[in-house]
Amino acid sequence: MDKTDTGKIKLHGFNNLTKTLSFNMYDICYAKSVEDRNAYIEYIDEQYNAERLTTILEHVTEMISATILNIAKQDYYPRGSSVTILISEKGMLQARGGQNPSADLPGGPQPPEIILAHLDKSHITVHTYPEYHPDGGVATFRADIDVATCGEISPLNALSYLVQSFDADIMTLDYRVRGFTRRITGEKLFMDHAITSIQN
């Protein structure tokens, strides 16, 4: 990693091809009483707390052969949780050929996860929304999940596992491939993996 005269970090091997898998999962419960509603919300809050969500996302990272750089997780009051994991296609030392990537930054060594997060722009996030209607007796749970990767790793490898990890009544799914990467010869690639069916 080199610095330019402006102090900006020069990127090497930058890949602009981004693959993003997005889920919205919904669970719906009709609660006859306030006690039933509260019990459902408490169950959801316990079942999908930040600690368990982190475990799910760590397994997703392993399944897509990525490396965890940093984890941020939070449970909210009165309800809901969020987890964000920054990931890279390669480990920190592999990306620099064994050199310390932060040794030449101003102010001395910096946390390595910050550096590669900017280079790879890959992340996995989940946000949960347990809610209820105050009058109608309907309680709902929504989980928004995004798996965004650059490089050769694909979020589709974790598709089945993610679907099975959430007990959802309704699910929407979106998969996008954006940007491009180049071969050594300069040819642009807008897709670097084959998709031959909806199951793939």
Catalytic residue among 22, 59, 82, 127: 127
Q: By the 8 A CB rule, do 65 and 167 touch? A: no
Our answer to whether residue 29 is catalytic in this structure is: no
Amino acid type, 85:
I
Amino acid type, 9:
I
Q: Alpha helix (H) ranges present in the chain? A: 34-47, 50-63, 92-95, 112-120, 159-165
Instruction: Give Rg (Cα) of the chain.
Output: 20
Q: Which long-range contacts (CB under 8 A, 24 or more apart) does 66-72 make?
A: 66/122, 66/149, 66/153, 67/91, 67/92, 69/112, 69/113, 69/116, 69/117, 70/111, 70/113, 70/114, 70/117
Catalytic residue among 123, 150, 154, 165: 150
Our answer to whether residue 122 is catalytic in this structure is: yes
Catalytic residue among 81, 88, 122, 154: 122
Angle at 84 between CA 72 and CA 50, to 5 degrees: 70
Amino acid type, 164:
Q
Other CB atoms within 10 Å distance of the CB of residue 189: 12
The residues annotated with a catalytic role in the active site are 122, 127, 150
